[in-house]
Amino acid sequence: MDGLNHEITEYMSLFAEEEEIISKAEDILESAKQQQNILAPHFDKLLRSYKKLFGQTKRIVKMADNLQRDLNTATDKLSVLCKIDQLTGIANRRCFEDTYNVQWKRSVRNRTQLALIVIDIDYFKQYNDTYGHSKGDICLQKVAQAIQQTLKRPDDFLARYGGEEFVVVLPTTDENGALLIAESIRDSIEALSIPHRMSKVSNHLTISMGVCVMTASLVDYKDVHFQRADEALYQAKNEGRNRVIMWKDASE
């Protein structure tokens, strides 16, 4: 795209020279007419043909410029759409993987702590079976919005990982800070008071969370980080759901 833009710019820079050539040609033609030069009519015909061709060239270049602009706009929109979960409006799994990778490398470079929270809606299948998938979709949207509103810092990141599972990435966050945010998220979902009569935990919707905080040392350990958060989530479910478990507790 940059190459095409460069070519269009070069074409546009030629226009000034071409306009000057046409102007000089018109002056010569006018002089030839005044001198009743027998070649003047032929020169006039050639000049009119050249001016017509030049006008067409300018229109083609303008069309190419407009098409390039439209293509750039469409590409930018597509790039954004590829990273957004269309149901909830938050980042999707692909965007999470890209962001997580960047933050992990930053943690490696700066020797800072990185917190990861894996979130699962308790008994969501039963919720869908009871209230229908359209209500389930609305539920996911409300949960995503509530979690997003809980995150205050610009670098705090939320994504829908898949189904009823969400992930939160918290750069430069220690275990106490991660637990505080996780509990705030859990409280925000309970505060929604979304009825869930088939839940075995409560009469309203709840979530379970697994948390892992690591200071990255090797790039390859990123998968270990996620696995530990997932293991903590598994323990939260085993211990009755509607709770937050830090990975160090899960390993004991």
> Which residues are identified as catalytic?
164
| Closest to 18 in 3D by CA, of 52, 64, 66 | 52
Residue closest to 80 by CA, chosen among 91, 93, 67, 68: 91
| Other CB atoms within 10 Å distance of the CB of residue 152 | 8
Torsion angles phi and psi, residue 127, rounded to 5: -65, -45
Distance CA 205, CA 127 (A): 9
Distance separating alpha carbons of residues 212 and 220, to the nearest angstrom: 16
In angstroms, rounded to a whole number, what is the distance separating the alpha carbons of residues 208 and 196? Answer: 15
Whose tokens are 């000049």? That residue is: 47
91, β-bridge pairs: 84, 159
| DSSP letter string, 146-161 | HHHHH--STT-EEEEE
Tracing tokens 């509990």 back to the chain, one arrives at: 183
Calpha distance 238→231 (Å, rounded): 11
